Amino acid sequence: MVASCGRAGGEDTGHEYMPDMAHSIAYEANYNSYYRNNTWGTEEDYRKMAEPRKPVANTIARGESVYHYEESERERAMAELNNAVTPANQEELDDILTRGGNLYNIYCAVCHGEEGNGNGPLYNNGDGPYPARPASFISDDFIKAGNSDGRFYHAIVYGKGVMQSHTDKLNPEERWEVIHYIRSLQGIKSGTAYDINAVGAVKVNVAPDTTAVEIEEPAHDEHAPH
Ligand code: HEC
């Protein structure tokens, strides 16, 4: 009894009786929960548990999306994919363009340029550190028909040439928002406002399901052991 009443002070918590009860041995992702009185494992064990890990193979996390095209199926993606984020009115489109614009300026503009002309600061007419010329979204090639939303989406998912995949930077909804924004940049270039009426006009086909997968909550059985 007396021994358990060690005095605490400064960084020292004093003696602890059964510290595993006070300091959980459960661990959280990306947080090193090592505490000197933990008895489950060494400091090194705890550090390892806090490291980022890959998702479990062959599983789909709740809310995660599935992209149904292989990298080699670019042509098919171009022919079939439409923007899955469909604003119902101008107000919703304005919000999408604000979010998409922010994301574009963070993740794409360094290479593709703020106006989408392929001449961002990293390329800078060939004087920048980046060796390859990024695609110009406001070139005729990208504005004219045949350049479906799928072309953009496919490039964001798999990258293209020296461009890396951006799936770790943008979730599926954000990718489509960025694509809306690129369409609006093209509108500025071609002098046709990208408003709610124009959104429908760029559609090519019916989009296959690229939206988030919803997994139903299993029915709760009161008698099942927890
Ligand atoms: C580090 C530089 C860099 C960044 C950042 C970057 N790209 Fe690219 N991107 C390139 C280059 C270079 C190419 C040309 C690749 C080629 O054609 O070989 C390219 C090509 C593309 C293409 C054309 C694909 C095609 O079918 O020809 C699209 C679409 C594209 N990028 C979209 C994006 C979007 C959207 C973002 C932001 C989420 C982005 N890129 C970020 C460098 C970049």
pLDDT at 2: 61
pLDDT digits (tens, 9 = 90+) for 153-162: 999 999 999 9
CB of 175 within 6 A of ligand 1: the answer is no
Using the mean position of ligand 1's atoms as its centre, give its distance from the Cα of residue 133 in Å: 9
Pocket test for ligand 1, best of 85, 142, 160, 171 (most atoms within 8 A of CB): 160
Calculate the average pLDDT of the chain.
83
Sign of the four-CA dihedral 54, 57, 63, 69: positive
Nearest to 135 by CA among 127, 145, 123, 153: 123
Q: Can you tell me the distance from the alpha carbon of 71 to that of 126, in angstroms, rounded to the nearest whole number?
A: 28
CB of 106 within 6 A of ligand 1: the answer is no
> Which numbered atom of ligand 1 lies nearest the CA of 147?
26
45 pLDDT above the threshold of 80: yes
- Cβ atoms of 207 and 82 within 8 Å: the answer is yes
- Cβ atoms of 70 and 137 within 8 Å: the answer is no
Q: Can you tell me the distance from the alpha carbon of 182 to that of 114, in angstroms, rounded to the nearest whole number?
A: 10
Of 29-38, 128-137, 206-215, the least confident: 206-215
**What pLDDT band is residue 110 in, cutting at 50, 70 and 90?**
very high
Which segment, 22-31, 32-41, 49-58, 171-180, is predicted with the most confidence on average?
171-180
**What pLDDT band is residue 220 in, cutting at 50, 70 and 90?**
low
**pLDDT, greater one: 100 or 199:** 100
**What pLDDT band is residue 122 in, cutting at 50, 70 and 90?**
very high
> Which numbered atom of ligand 1 lies nearest the CA of 160?
15
CB of 167 within 6 A of ligand 1: the answer is no
Using the mean position of ligand 1's atoms as its centre, give its distance from the Cα of residue 163 in Å: 5
**What pLDDT band is residue 163 in, cutting at 50, 70 and 90?**
very high
